[in-house]
Amino acid sequence: MTLFVDQTGQLGGAELCLADVASGRADSRVLLFSDGPFADLLRERNVPVEILPLKGSAARVTKQAGPAALLASVPGLTAHLAALSRRMKEADVVYLNTAKALVHGAAANLIARRPLVFHLHDLPNREHFSRANLAILMAAASRVDLVIANSQAVADEYGKAGGRTSVAVVPNGFDPARYANIPAEAIASVSSEWNPHRRPVVSIFGRIARWKGQHVLIEAARQIPEATFRIIGEPLFTDDDRAYARELQTLAQPMGDRVQFLGFRTDIPVLMAASDIVVHCSTAPEPFGRVLVEAMLSGKPVIAADAGGPREIVKEGVTGFLTPPGDVNTLADALRKVLADAALRERMGQAGRERAERRFSLSAVRQKTNTLLDRLSRKA
Ligand code: UDP
Ligand code: GLC
């Protein structure tokens, strides 16, 4: 049995990735530290899922937590770790998805003693983690058998942070059929609800969080009065994410219905098909960036922040443009250029689709992951 462990019941990119990997393996079981829509998605896909709730201050530890918050979480952890190690003992291999699962899993493994894989979805650096959390992450990662990095950028950063465990780079995988042949009626219904004036549509997809940089797009929107800007996603994790979401509403307010907030949606392929351009403008380097591959599979030109994973996904000038993170004016220039040229949009969209199908196929990713897991798997 392969036991997958993830901290959250929310639907972040790391969880959508895990859902695809776990449902592509015959003997999967998933253990989550809280219930939510991610657990529902796994149930829908018939993947056995168990919730092992993390309570009190241990549940509130974030990537940016300092030493005091980390210490306060310790008393609540003992029972949790004991239960986790009991579940781990039954597994042939344990797959720890993201940092919190890693830290708990590595500690529980002092007793369980199973082969461990850590799927690193984040850039392990001070832009994303507090000093204390980064040190704990790196110490825990040194105790696993294999690190899977979602991009070469993440693998390189792991090495730079002093990581010595062997690393396999496995990007996220996607089923192209999900993004192809979207019914015209579905697109028309989005347009009549959200775009009665039939303006060109620029969309950004992703959870609302300060480093995801939705404010950069709203600021660029001021310079492009002829287009509508759609922000799809919700704050998922921290109080600061929620505060940032309120700041975005205030920033966008003077532009009225030209900037639209659609909240969390499950019909991403339809909303991508109903866009002319997809933008990504994270201000800190993006570890991978699922939304970029999804936009390419939807045949859309992509303008993305030039750092981290997006450099491995977008081919500059061919499938879209890379602009400096946080640079509003260069983003606005790129948007104007692509909005003004329907043939360019078509060409870039087509090139993007071909590139994404070639490089980010779900079946290839499942195969690669299964091979890695089979190699480590040891009968419990
Ligand atoms: N997503 C979604 N609904 C939304 C916004 C985003 O299903 O309203 C999905 C999106 O399609 C993508 C994932 O959430 O697959 C976000 O992954 P990404 O790697 O881009 O960013 P993350 O949030 O993991 O940092
Ligand atoms: C994380 C990263 C994101 C990546 C996703 C899936 O949430 O922030 O960049 O695409 O994991 O690997």
Cβ neighbours for 106, distance < 8 A, ≥ 6 positions apart = 96, 116, 140, 141, 143, 144
Mean pLDDT score of the chain, rounded to an integer?
95
Q: What are the tens digits of pLDDT across the range 109-118? A: 999 999 999 9
Q: What are the tens digits of pLDDT across the range 24-41? A: 999 999 999 999 999 999
pLDDT of residue 295: 98
pLDDT of residue 157: 98
Give the Å distance between the CA of 255 and the centre of ligand 2.
30
Give the Å distance between the CA of 12 and the centre of ligand 1.
6
Q: Is the pLDDT of residue 298 over 90?
A: yes
Ligand nearest to the CA of 292: 1
Give the Å distance between the CA of 161 and the centre of ligand 2.
19
pLDDT of residue 64: 79
Ligand nearest to the CA of 286: 2
> Does one domain contain both 202 and 344?
yes
> Does one domain contain both 122 and 239?
no
> Does one domain contain both 140 and 229?
no
Q: What are the tens digits of pLDDT across the range 214-257? A: 999 999 999 999 999 999 999 998 999 999 999 999 999 999 99
Atom of ligand 1 nearest to the CA of 264: 8
Q: Is the pLDDT of residue 75 over 80?
A: no
pLDDT of residue 65: 73
Ligand nearest to the CA of 121: 2
pLDDT of residue 345: 98
Pocket test for ligand 1, best of 291, 297, 298 (most atoms within 8 A of CB): 291
Q: pLDDT category, 67, cuts 50, 70, 90? A: confident
Ligand 2 site: residues with CB under 6 angstroms? 12-14, 17, 121, 150, 172, 286-290, 309
How many independent structural domains does the chain possess? Answer: 2
Q: pLDDT category, 57, cuts 50, 70, 90? A: low
Q: Find the mean pLDDT for residues 359-373.
A: 98
Domain hosting residue 102, numbered range: 2-173+361-377
Q: What are the tens digits of pLDDT across the range 117-160? A: 999 999 999 999 999 999 999 999 999 999 999 999 999 999 99
Atom of ligand 1 nearest to the CA of 280: 20
Q: Is the pLDDT of residue 2 over 70?
A: yes
> Does one domain contain both 52 and 152?
yes
Q: What are the tens digits of pLDDT across the range 254-283? A: 999 999 999 999 999 999 999 999 999 999
> Does one domain contain both 292 and 308?
yes
Atom of ligand 2 nearest to the CA of 286: 9
Q: pLDDT category, 72, cuts 50, 70, 90? A: low
pLDDT of residue 379: 83
Pocket test for ligand 1, best of 40, 207, 212, 265 (most atoms within 8 A of CB): 207
Which CATH number does the domain housing residue 188 bear? 3.40.50.2000
> Does one domain contain both 199 and 144?
no
Taking a C-beta distance cutoff of 8 angstroms, is the pair 218, 251 a contact?
yes
Atom of ligand 2 nearest to the CA of 290: 10
- Intra-chain end-to-end CA distance of the chain, in Å: 8
> Does one domain contain both 7 and 132?
yes
Q: pLDDT category, 315, cuts 50, 70, 90? A: very high
Percent of the chain with pLDDT over 70: 97
Ligand 1 site: residues with CB under 6 angstroms? 12-14, 16, 205-207, 232-233, 264-265, 268, 288-291, 294
Give the Å distance between the CA of 140 and the centre of ligand 2.
20
Ligand nearest to the CA of 10: 1
- Tell me, letter by letter, the H, E, C secondary structure of the chain: CEEEEECCCCCCHHHHHHHHHHCCCCCEEEEECCCCHHHHHHHHCCCCEEECCCCHHHHCCCCCCCHHHHHHCHHHHHHHHHHHHHHHHCCCEEEEECHHHHHHHHHHHHHHCCCEEEEECCCCCCCCCCHHHHHHHHHHHCCCCEEEECCHHHHHHHHHCCCCCCEEECCCCECHHHHCCCCHHHHHHHHHHHCCCCCCEEEEECCCCHHHCHHHHHHHHCCCCCCEEEEECCCCCCHHHHHHHHHHHHHHHHHHHHEEEEECCCCHHHHHHCCCEEECCCCCCECCCHHHHHHHHCCCCEEEECCECHHHHCCECCCEEEECCCCHHHHHHHHHHHHCCHHHHHHHHHHHHHHHHHHCEHHHHHHHHHHHHHHHCCCC
| CA within 13 Å, CB half, 353 | 17
Backbone angles phi, psi at 32, to 5 degrees: -115, 155
> Does one domain contain both 201 and 340?
yes
pLDDT of residue 54: 86
> Does one domain contain both 181 and 229?
yes
Ligand nearest to the CA of 294: 1
> Does one domain contain both 169 and 212?
no
Nearest CA to ligand 1 atom 7: 266
> Does one domain contain both 163 and 193?
no
> Does one domain contain both 73 and 221?
no
Q: What are the tens digits of pLDDT across the range 9-19? A: 999 999 999 99
Atom of ligand 2 nearest to the CA of 16: 6
Give the Å distance between the CA of 291 and the centre of ligand 1.
6
